[in-house]
Structure 1
Amino acid sequence: MRLPVEELIKRYKNNLYAAAFNICKNASDAEDVVQDTFVQYYSSNKQFETEQHIRAWLIRVAINKAKNVAKSFWRNHNVPYEDYMETLAFDSPESQDLFETVMKLPAKYRIAIHLYYYEDYAIREIADILKISESNVKVRLSRGRKLLKETLKEAWEDDE
């Protein structure tokens, strides 16, 4: 099964961007990752079983590309995500605080939380995408939630 790239861009561009931004913490890098992901799909002759398989493949490629960008030498010369935060629009101050807190998590927890809560992947699917065991995904989600809870609780207590 192959779908036209234009159709995939319409459906998954924002999802891939969110996953890439989650890792890169930089808008231009995330945009490059999304573009490179679709170019790789277009260039490949890979056949997929279902549209879900295509979506999972795109997310996996985007995550890998974003990790490579985050490790690159040129990464040190980009604008930090804190400066980019000013350009993002949030529904409420609470959603901005939550976003900032999630972005401060270690990458392994941040990625698992993003895939689970923002992309609605099941634990089994996240394990396949990240090439880790299901129990490891559960541990990462649990530890990520714990860190979020502690951080948000401290911030809430400081406000009182």
Structure 2
Amino acid sequence: MPNQSLRTNDCVDEVIEKYADMVYRLAFSRVKNKNDADDIFQEVFLRYIKKERDFETEEHRKAWLIRVTINCSNSFFSSAWSQKVVSIADTEPAPFEPSEELGLHELLMELPVKYRTVLHLFYYEDLPINEISRILKRKPATVKTQLMRARQMLKEKLKGDLYENIPCPAEINE
């Protein structure tokens, strides 16, 4: 039975426990609001539970969860609700402690969503450029360009030498 899918052997509670932080951090980094991130988190795992889907590997499951989180975030941005509601994101603290200083996290949250997404996947989830391009359905060159532009935006915002500690995507092996 080596070809048996991961779906038939997994426990939903274990999958949620393993990927909860990743899904929530990605949702929050995209929508910048705790309540909306909670909604997206729930929607992602509801889709996981409802979906009769076989995963070839654990990396495939992770990529699927990332893609669904991004899709749910995109649906949120295009909904009439999100276009009419005034965001209170500026008054809410981050629901998790990022590994960098809080000031850097706040600067990241000021970037456009397309840049926050690639930065999050690259630096927080440690995904290589090729995997990010596959998940986001963008060319690897586009992902590299977005990473470089995001890094440049952070450099301008920081106006210091903290940015020099952030590895440049061109310097990292894919």
Q: Scaled by the length of structure 2, what TM-score is found?
A: 0.81
Match of 2:63 in 1: 56
1:82 aligns with 2:90: yes
Of residues 20, 23, 47, the one that matches 2:27 is: 20
1:57 corresponds to which letter in structure 2? W
Match of 1:70 in 2: 77
8 Å Cα contact 1:112/1:141 also seen in 2: yes
User: Gapped runs of 5+ residues in structure 2?
Assistant: 1-5, 163-174
1:131 aligns with 2:125: no
2:131 corresponds to which letter in structure 1? E
Deviations 1:13-53 (A, max 9, x none): 11100100111111111111111111111111111110111
Provide the secondary structure at the position in 2 that maps to 1:12.
Answer: helix
Aligned residues: percent identity?
41
Match of 1:98 in 2: 104
How much is the aligned-residue C-alpha RMSD, in angstroms?
2.0
8 Å Cα contact 1:20/1:33 also seen in 2: yes
| Aligned-pair CA distance for 1:89 | 6.5
Match of 1:33 in 2: 40
Q: Scaled by the length of structure 1, what TM-score is found?
A: 0.88
Q: 1:40 to 1:141 in 2, by over 3 A?
A: same
Q: 1:48 to 1:91 in 2, by over 3 A?
A: closer
Structure 1 runs of 4+ aligned residues shifted over 4 Å read: 87-92
Q: How many pairs were matched up?
A: 153
| Aligned-pair CA distance for 1:106 | 1.1
